[in-house]
Chains A and B, each alone.
Chain A
Amino acid sequence: MTHRMFRTLTGAVAAMALLATPALAHRLRTAKEAATVAGSDMSVTPDRDWNRLSMAPGKHAETWTLDGEQLNDVTFYGGIAPDEPLVRERSKKRDPLPKFLQSTLLVEIPELLEGTYRTQKNIASFELLSTEPTNFLGNKGVRFTYRYTDDDALTRNGEARAAIVGGKLYMITFDAPRLYYFDKSIEPARALMTSATLPGGGAH
């Protein structure tokens, strides 16, 4: 009973805090204008207009979309420091997220994203489809593709690029339903990934 009551109260406080926050407007990100993302120095130049959602998934994360994050979701992770999760934890105790560690290797990044999605999105199936080395932010990086089905029974495809620069993780992911929306939005999403720069990024 005590535990239940505690859960209820924590839920209540969290919900009230969110409800009390005034709704902030989503921002336009204009084509051909460079924009820094996720509170970091990482910068991208879109090839078409995008919307930056007002609600960020984490302290060092930010989401852009064309039609709504349900249908096309580009999330930027801007400098995740060692021992930090990719996104805000729902509950540190009940649903802890895997952390990016100082010892995390580039090839382990897909697994970090998978572990994060499994907990946050409550998904049963996540399949890593491909992993290959790439150049990202002027550094050695990894490009990977994946597929998962979340609790709304919709299968989504994803594509991501990541690099570790100065001991921090920088990543851009693109997720969309494999039906229609992935193909519709992958090119502008790839254009964002290709355009990404980080001052001094190539120096490491």
Chain B
Amino acid sequence: MKHILRALALAMCVTLFAAAPASGQERSATKQGFELAPKSGKKILVFRPSVQVGSQSTGGMFEPNGEWTDSAKRNLQVALEKLQTKLGNEIVVAPEAYGEDAQKLAEHMALFAAVSDAVIEYQFFRGNRLPTKKRDNKEDVFDWSLGAGVADLPGAKDADYGLFLYNRDAYGSTGRKVLQVLAMLGPGIPVKSGEHQGYAGLVDLKTGDILWLNADAAMGGDVREAEGADKRAAQLLEDFPGSDLGQ
């Protein structure tokens, strides 16, 4: 239930944003005081992106599709490799993880997605902010972390920062599209068909603090196609610190 409610709340945030741009929806943030100059001598460890593609049932539930996921993984890998050289700093590709290491990495990736969800829901969407974080928000403080456990991830000892990339795409099923039409024809409520979460985060590999986050629950680019994956990768890494991407 909570998942559906959360998905709907997220959809509502996006819907309200679309209806009232004045309320202000942000998409990216940088930790206060963090700066990364090009060619700074810092090493960025790029973890293998988490990619899930499926369809969205009428009620908004995610139903995974193996074939779509496989092509999206391939497409995004190629797209990201094209951009990695333009990130402005030295890139280290994370070693392939096995067994316990792979499990640890997957869990951190899931935590990164959960933190990004919380940031979108409770910080980027201004009308939905948590009262205890009001002062932080007023002073533009961006204080979110994955915890110091990131220091034990494979490859972390050889780099300064880790780049986490998470994608979850749900393409609207026929039922969902019917709901979209019904809702529009009936009470005139816009319902989203399909969800396209794309999160990119630069993380301090000693503290786990998120230094830069670009997260959107409505990303562009059909990752099942090579061209769409290029678009998605560019959108994910837009304004990456120290790079000239997106400028």
Q: Which residues of A contact B (CB under 8 A)?
A: 4, 7-9, 11-12, 14-16, 18-20, 23, 25-28, 49-51, 55, 57, 65-71, 87-90, 120-122, 150-155, 177, 179-181, 184
Contact of A11 (CB < 8 Å), options: B1, B130, B179, B187? B179
| Closest A residue by C-beta to B114 | A70
Complex Cα distance, B51 from A8, in Å, reads 28
Q: Determine if B117 and A15 form an interchain contact, defined as CB atoms under 8 angstroms apart.
A: no
CB under 8 Å from chain A, chain B span 114-144: 114-115, 117-118, 121-122, 127-132, 144
Hey, which chain B residues are within 8 Å of A23, CB to CB? 12, 16, 127-128
Q: A11-B175, A65-B130 are in contact. Are A18 and B8 (CB under 8 A)?
A: yes
| Closest A residue by C-beta to B59 | A11
Q: Determine if A57 and B147 form an interchain contact, defined as CB atoms under 8 angstroms apart.
A: no
CB under 8 Å from chain A, chain B span 88-125: 106-108, 110-111, 113-115, 117-118, 121-122
Complex Cα distance, B115 from A18, in Å, reads 24
Complex Cα distance, B113 from A71, in Å, reads 11
Q: Closest Cβ of chain A: how far from B104's Cβ, in Å?
A: 9
B4 at the interface (CB under 8 A from A): yes
Hey, which chain B residues are within 8 Å of A12, CB to CB? 58, 178-179, 182-183
Contact of B131 (CB < 8 Å), options: A8, A51, A89, A120? A51
* Contacts A/B (CB < 8 Å), 30 sampled: A4-B175, A11-B60, A11-B175, A12-B182, A15-B8, A16-B186, A19-B11, A19-B12, A19-B189, A23-B12, A26-B128, A26-B130, A28-B132, A66-B130, A67-B130, A69-B6, A71-B114, A87-B1, A88-B1, A89-B1, A120-B2, A120-B3, A121-B3, A122-B3, A154-B110, A179-B146, A179-B149, A180-B145, A180-B147, A181-B147
Q: Determine if A15 and B60 form an interchain contact, defined as CB atoms under 8 angstroms apart.
A: yes
Q: Closest Cβ of chain A: how far from B59's Cβ, in Å?
A: 4
How many residues of chain B are within 8 Å of chain A by beta carbon?
51
Majority secondary structure of chain B interface residues (helix, strand, loop or mixed): helix
Contact of B122 (CB < 8 Å), options: A9, A28, A68? A68
CB under 8 Å from chain A, chain B span 1-44: 1-6, 8-9, 11-12, 15-16
Q: Determine if B187 and A154 form an interchain contact, defined as CB atoms under 8 angstroms apart.
A: no
B208 at the interface (CB under 8 A from A): yes
Q: Determine if B1 and A70 form an interchain contact, defined as CB atoms under 8 angstroms apart.
A: no
Complex Cα distance, B57 from A15, in Å, reads 12
Hey, which chain A residues are within 8 Å of B5, CB to CB? 18, 55, 57
B245 at the interface (CB under 8 A from A): no
Hey, which chain B residues are within 8 Å of A57, CB to CB? 1-2, 5
Q: Closest Cβ of chain A: how far from B191's Cβ, in Å?
A: 6
| Closest B residue by C-beta to A122 | B3
Q: A16-B186, A55-B9, A68-B130 are in contact. Are A8 and B58 (CB under 8 A)?
A: yes
Hey, which chain B residues are within 8 Å of A152, CB to CB? 110, 113-114
Q: Determine if B175 and A7 form an interchain contact, defined as CB atoms under 8 angstroms apart.
A: yes
Hey, which chain B residues are within 8 Å of A20, CB to CB? 187, 189
| Closest B residue by C-beta to A119 | B1
Q: Closest Cβ of chain B: how far from A12's Cβ, in Å?
A: 5
Q: Chain B CB within 10 Å — which of A20, A23, A179 has the most?
A: A179
Complex Cα distance, B1 from A90, in Å, reads 6
Starting from the known contacts A67-B122, A120-B2, 6 additional A-B residue pairs (CB-CB under 8 Å) come to: A7-B58, A15-B183, A15-B191, A51-B130, A90-B1, A154-B111
Q: Closest Cβ of chain A: how far from B77's Cβ, in Å?
A: 20
Contact of B121 (CB < 8 Å), options: A9, A27, A68, A181? A68
| Closest B residue by C-beta to A67 | B118
| Closest B residue by C-beta to A120 | B1
Q: Determine if B178 and A179 form an interchain contact, defined as CB atoms under 8 angstroms apart.
A: no
